[in-house]
Structure 1
Amino acid sequence: MDKPVLPLTYEQIDHWIASLQPELAREGFTHAVGILRGGAWPATLVSHATGAVPAFLRYERATRTAVWDSSVPLPARGSKVLVCEDIAGAGHTLADCVSFLREQGLVVKTLTVVFDDLSRMRPDYGMDCRGYFALLPWERHAYTDRYRARWQHTQAGTLGPIGEDHEFAVYAIDLDGVLLPDVPPHRYDADLMAALEERDALLPFEHLPQIDFSRTQAIVTGRPEIDRARTADWLARHGYAHLRLVMRDPSRHGEHPEQVAAYKAEAALELACTHFIESDPVQAIFIAQHAPLLRVVWWDAARRAAKLIATQAWRGADAPTP
């Protein structure tokens, strides 16, 4: 992938459609028609913004066939509808669906969340993402190596359907606090060598996060690179030698929680992961802030509980404007 990745969140897409509300309302669309599945959510947002009736089309790529797939009937001839899709792609989906509706005597305009350099058709409404790889929140798995390989084979006709979204989950995990207990920071300050030896002797937790470890891409730890040999030895002794070990470079990322979190977010994105399991709640918040489409899970080993983390920056009324 030679384009910079542009992650778009649900909130950003919601705000974008809200910004179009006056213009969409003036158009007088009777229906917002989503192409299943990617166009379903944008059509629902348009429906809420304008009052247009939500309706859906189903498209079969193999036969290039569009069918009406709604409990509401087809609009009357002459009605004006807005076809909604997630991306104006390189294929024929959007054009074929527009042609189908026009054949029914409808006046059609189009809205796609994004369009890019490869788009076969330019929508009437869409965010211009030319020069970027737009990563939509419901397609966060599309950045994984396995998905891209499957997609290429599917496009070439050498495989059947790509598969379900959850099948492409890829994990990166923290080390201390996830696989083994944390040694309290004050022990490192009191006697570094004694603390390291204590850590080396620790046994793995009996209870681990309930994830598919066969889909774990790497251990991404805040431990500095100088600890690689003893860390790799511990992993080998306890059955984790097969996992890739990513360690922090202190010359690039310091020890402050936000700096460590920035490094972990960067590593997870470079590894094309969809999920990150983090033991420190503060770091989990910062990781989620740095990588908004990464599924960040805070693992509380003491309670054997996991919480999905999402974060947006907040400014109080008296905060200075940047």
Structure 2
Amino acid sequence: MNEPVLPISYEHMDRWVASLQSALLAEAFSSIIGVLRGGAPLALMVSHATGVEPSFLRYRRADRSVTWDSSLPIPQAGSKVLLCEDIAGAGHTLKDCLSFLQRRGLQVKTLTAGYHDLSRLRPDYGIDGRGYFLLFPWERQVNTQAYRDHWVSTGCGRTGQMAQDHEYDAYAIDLDGILLPDIPDQHYAADLQAALCERDQLEPFERLPPLGLVKAIITGRPEMDRARTQAWLSRHGHGETPMIMRDPQLHNDSPEQVAAHKAQATLRLGCTHFVESDPVQAILIAQYAPLLRVIWWDARNGLGRLIGALGWGQQV
């Protein structure tokens, strides 16, 4: 994958569908049909935008079979319908589903959240992703090594059963404010060495966030602090967890740069979740990585909050 990643969030899709509302209403579709599972969110969004009931198709890649999977009957021949799928890709899903409906005498238009240079079909409505690798919210687990290994071992999902998506979740966590208390900034400003010594003597929190598989600790501490930080981690039972520290030559200590360091490291590791102790950092990380599950952990109250950072007034 050499193309830059273009993340398409639920918010992005919702605003895009809203921008098409007038055009979709003018089409007067009798049915909105989503391909399970990737096309289902779009079909529901379009259904809400148009008031037209959604129905669904189920597609099996193993034998390229298409089946009607809905409590509503297949529309009568001659009806005009909208077929929704997440992407018009290089595979056969959209083409086979389109043929299934056309053989039943339906007039079919297509809507996909994206298309790219290798798309077999150009949808009637779609986000132009040419030159990019499009990534959707329900695909965040594909970045994990476990998912990729399983995908390869099952012949791209054809010869074996993949696990449930959530079973591939992988976490990276912040250090200060997650495993141990933060030292106030004014302590560092007043006497750096005394603050570092104070930090070295801190005891870990008794209560940690609810975590899945933790692949790494990603901290904004500079690389020069590695020895003393590793000593603290080893002393308190976290010495085996890989730690990624900030390289000051790549990222300075500004909030924006520290957040960029954490987001980039988390994505390189193929993690699906990042747990951050500072709310501003959490917002910035969510901005840098829109499909990453960013959790702001409030250690004082033992509460976690999912963070999003969609720009206010941002255009589709």
Relative to the length of structure 2, the TM-score reads 0.92
**Aligned twin of 1:179:** 179
**Distance (Å, rounded) in 2 between the aligned partners of 1:308 and 1:49:** 27
**Distance (Å, rounded) in 2 between the aligned partners of 1:118 and 1:148:** 21
1:1-322 matched pairs, under 5 angstroms: 1-155=1-155, 159-212=159-212, 215-314=213-312
RMSD: 1.8
Amino acid of the structure 2 residue aligned with 1:4: P
Amino acid of the structure 1 residue aligned with 2:8: L
**Post-superposition shift, 1:166?**
0.7
**Post-superposition shift, 1:219?**
0.8
Amino acid of the structure 1 residue aligned with 2:19: S
**Distance (Å, rounded) in 2 between the aligned partners of 1:239 and 1:124:** 56
**Post-superposition shift, 1:263?**
1.9
Query: What per-residue deviation string (whole Å, max 9, x for no partner) do you get for residues 109-166 of structure 1?
Result: 2111112233333322222212211111222222223223322333357851222111
Instruction: Mark the runs of 5 or more structure 2 residues left unpaired by the alignment.
Output: none
| Greater Cα offset, 137-146 or 40-49 | 137-146
Relative to the length of structure 1, the TM-score reads 0.91
Amino acid of the structure 1 residue aligned with 2:283: I
**Post-superposition shift, 1:55?**
0.8
**Post-superposition shift, 1:216?**
1.4
**Distance (Å, rounded) in 2 between the aligned partners of 1:201 and 1:17:** 54
Amino acid of the structure 1 residue aligned with 2:196: L
Contact kept? 1:135, 1:143, Cα under 8 Å? no
Structure 2 counterpart SS, 1:38: coil
| Greater Cα offset, 78-87 or 103-112 | 103-112
| Greater Cα offset, 22-31 or 226-235 | 22-31
Contact kept? 1:135, 1:142, Cα under 8 Å? no
Structure 1 counterpart SS, 2:244: strand
Contact kept? 2:151, 2:157, Cα under 8 Å? no
Amino acid of the structure 2 residue aligned with 1:256: S
1:157–1:263: structure 2 CA closer, same or farther, 3 Å change rule?
A: closer
1:303–1:187: structure 2 CA closer, same or farther, 3 Å change rule?
A: same
**Post-superposition shift, 1:103?**
2.0
**Distance (Å, rounded) in 2 between the aligned partners of 1:86 and 1:55:** 15
| Matched length | 313
**Distance (Å, rounded) in 2 between the aligned partners of 1:288 and 1:48:** 27
| Greater Cα offset, 248-257 or 238-247 | 248-257
1:115–1:162: structure 2 CA closer, same or farther, 3 Å change rule?
A: farther
1:266–1:134: structure 2 CA closer, same or farther, 3 Å change rule?
A: same
**Post-superposition shift, 1:23?**
2.5
1:308–1:40: structure 2 CA closer, same or farther, 3 Å change rule?
A: same
**Distance (Å, rounded) in 1 between the aligned partners of 2:228 and 2:193:** 12
**Post-superposition shift, 1:306?**
0.8
**Distance (Å, rounded) in 2 between the aligned partners of 1:263 and 1:156:** 32
Structure 1 counterpart SS, 2:6: strand
**Distance (Å, rounded) in 1 between the aligned partners of 2:156 and 2:287:** 37
| Greater Cα offset, 105-114 or 250-259 | 250-259
Structure 2 counterpart SS, 1:236: helix
**Distance (Å, rounded) in 1 between the aligned partners of 2:31 and 2:120:** 24
Structure 2 counterpart SS, 1:117: coil
1:149–1:117: structure 2 CA closer, same or farther, 3 Å change rule?
A: farther
Structure 1 counterpart SS, 2:110: strand
